[in-house]
Amino acid sequence: MSFHLNYFSLVRPSILDNENLREPQKLAYMDLYRHFLEQKSTRDAVVILPTGAGKTGVIALSPYRISEGRVLIITPQLVIKDHVLESLDPTEPENFWLKRKVFPSYEYLPNVTEYDKDTHLEELEQSNIVILNIHKLSMKYRNSLLTKVNNEFFDMIIIDEAHHSPADTWQNALNYFSRAKVIKLTGTPFRADRKPIEGRVVTNYRLGRAMTDKIVKTLENFKLIQEKLYLTIDNNPNKRFTIEQIRSQGIKDEDFINRSVALSQECNRQIIIESINALNKKRLGTDVPHKIIGVACSIEHANQIKDLYQEYKLRAEIIHSKMDKDARKEVLINIENHRCDVIIHVAMLGEGYDHPYLSIAAIFRPFRSLAPYSQFIGRILRCIPDNEARKPSDNIGTVIAHRDLGLDGLWKEYQNEDKISKIIETVKAQEKEERKLEHHLSDKYKKDIAEIEIGGEIIIESEYYDLTDLVKENEIYEQELNKKIVAFKEMLPNSNEEEIRKFILTQNKPQNTNPLLKNIKKYRIMVRDNFNRKIHQDIPAELITEFNVEKEGRDFANLRLTKDYRWITNNDQYDNAAIIAVLLNSIMKNTFGSRDKWNLQDYFRAEEYLEKVVDQLRTMLKSSLRKR
C-alpha cells in the first residue's frame, strides 16, 4: 500500500484468531495492547520470551492498533539485525506477515527501511518501520540517525535483546525519543550490567512452559565422565595427579583444570565421538538434516576440532568474528542449505542466529556465567517444523560436554531459570569470573595447561531439562522400536542389534523410484539447464507478456527493492527482461550460494523457492506499475 503515517491504525491484521501464530506471540500482543491502550501506561513494556518462541514475530505484531506513527526497531548486533530485516522485508516472500497469514498479500504490508549512511531523509519519511543496529544511533557515528530526524519522528521504539539496553548509546536514544512508546524484548531476565531491565514486565513466558507447549525443543543434557583422568604438570612425569588430588592439595585452581580438559585432544575426541553418535541416531529413519553446533575456546582450537570431525568423515565448517564478510556469508549459506554436518563457532553464532536443524550442542570450552552458556544452548532450541519431524526425538535437543569442564552448576541454574531474582544475584557474582575466562580463552593462554592422560571407561550420564510430553512420547516410541528389534533377533539370533534398528527405521522412509536417478549426473544437468532457462527466458517472457510491457523498456525499474538489489533497477543498461533475470539470479545466489556448488537437492529447494519469489515479484509489479 502507499505510505500512510497512521498505517498501523488503518489496516486490520489477523492476530488473535490466527492459527498460524504461536501462543506466546498472541499473549505478548494482548499484554502490550492492555499495557499501552487499556491501562494507558507510559512505562517501558518488557516482554520475556525464550529463544525459539517467536520474538521476531512479536516485533512484527506489536505496532498494530498500538502505534500511531512510525516504528524504530533497534538491534544490538549485525547478526540479529540481518535476521530481523530478512523476517520483516516486504519483498521477501517468506516474510513474517505473509508466512503467518497476518495479511493476505503484499499490498497490505508496511514500508520497511534499513537505516545506513546511504539512506535519504525522504526514504525515512516514507517508512512505517525503520530497522538499524544500535551503533547507527551513536553520536560517534558521523551519520547517526539522531542527527537526521527530530525527537518526535517515531511513535514506538522496539528493542530486541533488551538486556543490552543500559549502555550509554541505548539510553541516549531512548532519552532523545522520550515520548515514544518503548517495548523491550529479551530471553534473558537481566541486563548487561546485571541489573533488572528497566520497565514493567508485561509478558514472562518461561522456557519450561515453551517446552511443555512444544514451542521449543525439549533438552537432554549428556555429561561425559572419564573413569581415570590424570593431569601431568610442566611436562614432568613426576607431577602426575588426578583431578581429585589437584583439588584436595590445592595444586592448581579450578580454572586450570577446566582449561586443560577443554584443550585436551583426548577429551575433545570423546565429545566428538558422542556427538557423532547422537547425530547418527537422530538422522536414522528421518530426512531431517540434523546438525551439530560446537563452541571452541579460540580460532586455533576450532580448527583442531574441525580436523577431528573431518577424521570421522563429517563436513565441518568454522565461523568466527575475524572472518571477512564474504567468507562468513558463504559458511552461513552452506549451513542453511545443508552442505555441512558440523558448525564450530568462536564468539560468533550467539544471539540472533536461528537454524532449526541445529540439534546437538557440543561444548568444548568452559563457561563461568549463565548468559553465554544459555545463549549457546539456545541455538538448538528452535523446533523442527511439524510437517518435517518424523519421530519424537527430532525435537529433543542434545547437549554434550565433559564433566570436568565444570558446567554442572550452570546446567542446574539453567533448569531453574524461572527463579529470576536468584539468578540475577548468582550472575552478578559470576560476572567477574566470566570476564577473566574470556580474557584467558585466547591462543596465548594454552601455554599454562596440563597434559591429559585418560584410562578406564567413559561413563555417560544424561538428564532431561524437564519431563515433557515429548519425552514420554519418545520413551513409548523407543519401547515399541525395541519390541520390534527383539522380535527380529528371535528370528535372526546372530544378527546385529544396530543393523536391525537401521533396517527397521529405514523401511519407514519413502523410497525414490525416479528412473532418471540411475544416471544422477545426467539428471542434475537436465534440472540445471531447465532452471537456468526459467530464470533467463521463461519467467522474464511471462512477466513481460502478463504486464503488457516492451522487452526493451524499463517499466520494471520502478520495483521497490531493498538496498541489496537496488543496483539492478538503477542500471540504465538493463531492460525489463534483464531486470527480472538479473534480480532472480541475484536472489538465488544470495539464498543458495554459487550455482557451481549446487547438488540435485539444492536445485529442488531452489525450484520451490523460485515459485514463491516469482509470486511475490508478480504482486510487487502490480503495485509498482499501478503507481505509474
Residue 308 confidence class, pLDDT cut points 50, 70, 90: very high
CA–CA separation, 50 vs 206, rounded Å?
Answer: 6
How many beta carbons lie within 10 A of that of residue 118, not counting itself? 10
pLDDT surpasses 70 at 191:
no
Closest by CA position to 620, among listed 572, 583, 575: 583
H runs (alpha helix) in 384-468: 408-415, 420-440
Per-residue pLDDT of 443-495, as tens digits, reads 555 567 888 888 888 889 889 888 888 888 888 988 888 888 888 777 777 77
What is the spatial distance between Cα 397 and Cα 466, in angstroms, rounded to a whole number? 12
3-state secondary structure of 328: helix
Q: Is 395 exposed, middle or buried (0-12, 13-18, 19+ CB in 10 A)?
A: buried
Q: Nearest CA to 48 among 588, 561, 418?
A: 418
| CA 395 – CA 380 distance, rounded (Å) | 9
Count Cβ atoms below 10 Å from residue 515 Cβ, excluding itself: 7
Q: Select the more confidently predicted residue: 360 or 285.
A: 360
Is the pLDDT confidence value at 441 over 60?
A: yes
- Can you tell me which residue has the cell 531491565? 197
List the beta bridge partners of residue 224.
402, 460
**pLDDT digits 0-9 by tens, 369-388:** 877 888 899 899 999 988 89
In degrees rounded to 5, what are phi and psi of residue 132? -150, 165
Q: What is the DSSP string of 22-43?
A: -HHHHHHHHHHHIIIIIS---S
Other CB atoms within a 10 A radius of the CB of residue 571 amount to 13
Name, in order, each residue with C-beta under 8 angstroms of 23's C-beta and a sequence gap of 6 or more. Answer: 213, 215
- How far apart are alpha carbons 363 and 275 in whole angstroms? 10
Phi first, then psi: give them for residue 436, nearest 5 degrees: -65, -45
Do 455 and 227 touch, CB atoms closer than 8 A?
Answer: yes
Inform me whether the pLDDT recorded for 237 exceeds 70. Answer: yes
Identify the pLDDT of residue 514: 52
* Alpha-carbon gap, residue 21 to 30, rounded angstroms: 13
The CA distance from 251 to 439, in Å, is 22
With contact defined as beta carbons under 8 Å apart, do 154 and 174 qualify? no
| pLDDT surpasses 50 at 425 | no
The H or E element that residue 532 is part of is helix 520-533
**Mean pLDDT within 281-296:** 93
Look at residue 392 in the predicted model and tell me its pLDDT. Answer: 92
Highest mean pLDDT (candidates 224-238, 343-357, 419-433, 582-596) = 582-596
**Nearest to 366, CA basis, from 409, 397, 398:** 409
CA distance linking residue 507 with residue 42, whole number of Å:
60
Sign of CA dihedral 150, 156, 160, 161: positive
Amino acid identity for residue 65 in this structure: R
Q: How confident is the model at residue 423 (pLDDT cuts 50, 70, 90)?
A: very low
Q: Indicate the range of 133-142, 230-239, 499-508 predicted with least confidence.
A: 499-508
The answer to whether the CB of 584 falls within 8 A of the CB of 509 is no
Mean of per-residue pLDDT scores for the chain: 86
Tell me: pLDDT of 530 over 70: yes
Q: What is the DSSP letter of 197?
A: P
Whether the pLDDT of residue 395 is over 90: the answer is yes
Helices (H) and strands (E) in the chain, counts: 23, 15
How far apart (Å, rounded) are the C-alpha atoms in residues 216 and 148?
40
The predicted model scores a pTM of 0.82
